[in-house]
Amino acid sequence: MVVRLMVHHPELIPAISGEKILDEFESPLLKRLGKELETLFQKRGKLDLKETLGSVDEGLRKRFFEYTFQESGVGGDQQKRILKDCIEKIRRNRLKRDETDLLRRIKEVEKEKGGKELEDLLVKHQELARKEKGLLKDNLRKG
């Protein structure tokens, strides 16, 4: 949805760039397309469809076509709210994934009785919990 918003509402690209949310994308294809759109917008201050089609590789071009010809379905203030919701969801999912990976590593290290490494992992787990708590507080304040 974020990349589709970039295609249909390029004026949101600076906000998307500022959030650095493209770095958190799981899909390499969508990440590359988003980064390409971001670069083109930064060069020209606008997003030109013809220029974009000419500068992206075949795999990205296919996805770009799909997004270009899908209706945005978003108007007015909705686009900013949808972008905010997408960013929050991506960050929440990233935190959950990081926490799952970290808990798995903690269990492995506990089995091996790794003292210092276990301490480091537990500190990282606390940091993740603080980030998640901060994200929830931000949502409550903004919501």
What sign has the CA pseudo-torsion 48, 53, 57, 61?
A: positive
* Mean pLDDT, residues 85-89 taken together: 92
Buried b (16+ CB within 10 A) or exposed e, 32-43: bbbebbbebbee
Whether pLDDT at 118 is above 90 = no
pLDDT per residue as tens digits for the range 41-54:
999 889 888 888 88
Measured torsion, CA atoms of residues 129, 131, 136, 141, in degrees rounded to the nearest 10? 140
pTM for the model: 0.75
**105 burial via Cβ count (<10 Å: 0-12, 13-18, 19+):** middle
Contacting residues for 6 by C-beta, under 8 A, at least 6 apart: 12, 13, 16, 34, 37, 38, 41, 47
Q: Compute the mean pLDDT over every residue in the chain, rounded to the nearest whole number.
A: 86
Q: Is the pLDDT of residue 143 over 60?
A: no
